[in-house]
Amino acid sequence: MSQVFLPALRLDAQGNRHVDLRAVVALALPLFLNSSLQVVLNLTDTWFVGRISSEAIAAVGACYFLIFVFFLILGGVGMGVQTLVAQAFGAGRSREAAHAAWCGVWGGLMTTPLFVLAAWKGPVLLSWFELKPEVLSLATDYWVPRMLGGSVSAILYSLNSFFNGIGRPRYTFWNMVLVALTNAVLNEVFMFRLGYGIAGAAIASSLALAVGAALALLVFLNHGFQSEFDTRHTWKPDWAGIRRVVVLGVPTGLFPAMDVIGLALFQLMQVRLSPVDGAATQIVMMLTSNSYLPAIGIALAGTTLVGQSIGAGDKAWAMRCAQMITRMAVIYMGVLGVGLALAGAWVVPVFLSSSDPDATAVTTLCLRLLWIAAGYQIFDALNLSSAFCLRGAGDVRFPTVLLLLLSWLVFLPLCHALTFPPGQGWVGFLPQWGLGAVGGWSAALVYTTALGLGLWLRWRSGAWRKIDLFRN
């Protein structure tokens, strides 16, 4: 067995332990850049779809988060891989780390029939939300090919989680660079050269993920990783290992899925209200992803640091690493949130066609929403950093329950009440104050504040110290 080690450890001249900021940055930077590539993917898709119409942007907004709900719930098996890999690697069990990755791959393959069923039933699901006929038609065109790539996404996430868990996120980064470039090229080809329109954007995304999964598997099996982790001989399906990945990964995926369900319904409310509210909300969502998606990279570093520290048997060190991750996330999201709001007048028009009759109204609304979005960035940073550090410790059930309660009992009712004027909502038993998208985003601010504080307090309580993922 290899010797265990503490990640990001620096000893001063007196032998006192400190968290090495340079080591944390070295781990977090590739993860940060990798998550930033998701921003590029989102903005690229929004720019390409915006060349069609504002209704097309609203259509993507209507199903964008619903699609990721399925990706997170069905493909959540891949999300348990990083924690298991990090703890096994921290304890010096390299073959066990590789086997956990294979278990994630097998679990991803097993989700294929479920994603096919979701693609088939998608039009029925979207029809429940009473969208305008032209928006519903476009949303359906996007839904089906995007959903068919779901299991590929789960496989890619499993392999990338292996690289992240062993502290080598540069492999994930360069893989996602290829995915982003492939997606941009295929968008142009399928949307405009071949004339598939909005469906072409979904086809391009699914094919780009398949290219990324193939490259990740090739790297995983190369000579270097084979020598260190025995990746070519740990592939056999192990139902106990797959079960461990599923038991950890499904709640892990369910946590963001519950958040995404709330955001999906929030966005559908805005699309239902008007194409202007729907398009403005989609654009602001994509712009604020410049803040929260890179911050996910910082938070993922927390999963690795906490997992490796626990694997090495030092939970006090896990707490110290988590404190550093939280500070980094809060500073980044707070500064960028305000910066986006200040730059909104120059950035928003890029995503709208000058010939669109709703362009001015959408731009004006976006500028108001960006300031509300800036307000919750600090608490969203607490949410992300705390949730991912808890994930590294295997504490995934409590955060999921807390998010579920806050999303369904606070956020969605408040969002409905603040968004719709009387007589236009989905239900009649809630008050309706008719503040439109401004009201909906204000509800999001309340929700994110409560969730961020709740998860931060959960981490500080130390309840995660009692969890043992490898106990039979």
- Model confidence pLDDT, tens digit, residues 49-96: 777 777 787 777 777 777 877 888 777 777 789 889 988 998 889 999
- Model confidence pLDDT, tens digit, residues 261-310: 787 788 888 888 888 888 888 888 888 877 877 888 899 889 989 988 99
Rama region for 195: left / alpha / beta (φ>0; ψ in -120 to 50; rest): left
The sign of the CA dihedral 456, 462, 464, 465 is: positive
Contacts with 166 (C-beta within 8 Å, 6 or more apart), sequence order: 85, 86, 89, 97, 229
- Model confidence pLDDT, tens digit, residues 161-177: 999 899 898 898 899 88
Is the pLDDT at 3 greater than 60? The verdict is no
- pTM, whole model, 2 decimals? 0.70
- Inside any domain, residue 472: no
- Model confidence pLDDT, tens digit, residues 95-138: 999 999 999 999 989 989 999 999 998 888 888 877 778 888 88
How many structural domains compose the chain? Answer: 1
- Inside any domain, residue 6: no
Burial class of residue 23, CB neighbours in 10 A (0-12, 13-18, 19+)? middle
Angle (deg, nearest 10), helices 150-165 and 54-74: 60
DSSP 465: G
- Inside any domain, residue 16: no
- The domain in which residue 301 lies consists of 26-466
Q: Percent of the chain, pLDDT > 90?
A: 39
Angle (deg, nearest 10), helices 275-311 and 150-165: 40
φ, ψ dihedrals at 19, nearest 5° = -75, 120
pLDDT at 1: 40
- Inside any domain, residue 33: yes
- Inside any domain, residue 9: no
Is the pLDDT at 368 greater than 50? The verdict is yes
pLDDT at 197: 86
- Inside any domain, residue 15: no
pLDDT at 2: 44
Is the pLDDT at 412 greater than 80? The verdict is yes
Which comes out higher in pLDDT, residue 236 or 64?
236
Which comes out higher in pLDDT, residue 40 or 403?
403
Is the pLDDT at 472 greater than 70? The verdict is no
- Inside any domain, residue 8: no
Is the pLDDT at 4 greater than 90? The verdict is no
Least confident of 127-141, 208-222, 273-287, 313-327: 127-141
CA–CA gap between residue 218 and residue 223 (Å, rounded): 10
CA–CA gap between residue 162 and residue 80 (Å, rounded): 10
Token pair in block for residue 471? 């106990």
- Inside any domain, residue 18: no
